[in-house]
Amino acid sequence: MNLASRITAALIVGFARAVTAVRGVWEGIAPVQEQRIYFANHNSHGDFVLIWTVLPPDLRLRARPVAGADYWLTSKLKSFIGRDVFNAVLIDRNPETRNVDPMAQMSAALKGGDSLILFPEGTRNTGQSPLLPFKSGLFHLATANPEIDMVPVWIENLNRVMPKGALVPIPLICTVTFGAAMRLEADEDKANFLARAESALVALNPERKN
């Protein structure tokens, strides 16, 4: 990372801490340097930033978010943050226009030894249900990389900090809970795997626990 990216990263992390006092809860897995695929619920553009903030700095450097090129390449600032600061794997979400296969992009990043952070709902969930049905990308990743741990990550409260369409954030305490790692089981089909992944993620929701 060059100096401008480092400074921007520090500013973003500092701002996230000031607004949310975010705390990582390592419930099912320890914060150690291992190659992983983190998958999280998606309510806000800031979701990735919160996960990034609670990761210890050495893990943070190797954890790349998977994000939509249609959002992150629309302005110079966004593309600087997306590419240079977050080192995102930018995928084209539209199957008709894309000329690179997102699975190939993600596999390349994993081959390079990096961890991935992805939001298998595919888009921001702005409704009342806790999760949208997962897209199949997570299953294809698990099939292609059966030896990499997949870690569910529940982000709590960020949708209240920044509801859809809000211009300023409301400071509220957020938590990021990391669950136990899971892998594709032998002869597990797509529907079963995605259902298991969804319930592993929803189980981390603090509201469910009370």
Residue 163 in the binding site for another protein (CB under 8 A): yes
- By beta-carbon proximity to another protein, the closer residue of 30 and 168 is 168
C-alpha 119/C-alpha 43 separation (Å) is 10
Q: Is 168 in the site for another protein (CB under 8 A)?
A: yes
Closer to another protein by Cβ: residue 20 or 115: 20
Nearest alpha carbon to residue 70 among 50, 95, 46, 49: 95
Instruction: State the nearest-atom distance from the C-beta of 18 to another protein, in Å.
Output: 9
**Residue with Cβ nearer another protein (1 or 21):** 21
Residue 60 interacting with another protein (CB under 8 A) = no
Whose CA is closest to 86, among 98, 74, 75, 72? 72
CB atoms within 10 A of CB 54: 24
Cβ 173 to another protein shortest distance, Å: 4
* Binds another protein by CB under 8 A, chosen from 21, 32, 108, 191: 21
Does position 128 interact with another protein (CB under 8 A)? The reply is no
How does 155-177 read in b/e, with b if 16+ C-beta sit within 10 Å?
bbbbbebbeeeeeebeeeebbbb
- Work out whether 170 is an interface residue with another protein (CB under 8 A): yes
Token pair listed for 200: 């592993």
Task: Please report how close the Cβ of residue 169 comes to another protein at its closest, in angstroms.
Answer: 8
135 burial type by CB count under 10 A (0-12 exposed, 13-18 middle, 19+ buried): middle
Q: Is 135 in the site for another protein (CB under 8 A)?
A: no
DSSP string, 91-116: E---TTT-SS-HHHHHHHHHHTT-EE
Choices 38-46, 95-103, 166-174, 181-189; region in contact with another protein by CB under 8 A: 166-174
Q: Which residues bind another protein (CB under 8 A)?
A: 21, 23, 157, 160, 163-164, 166, 168, 170-173, 210
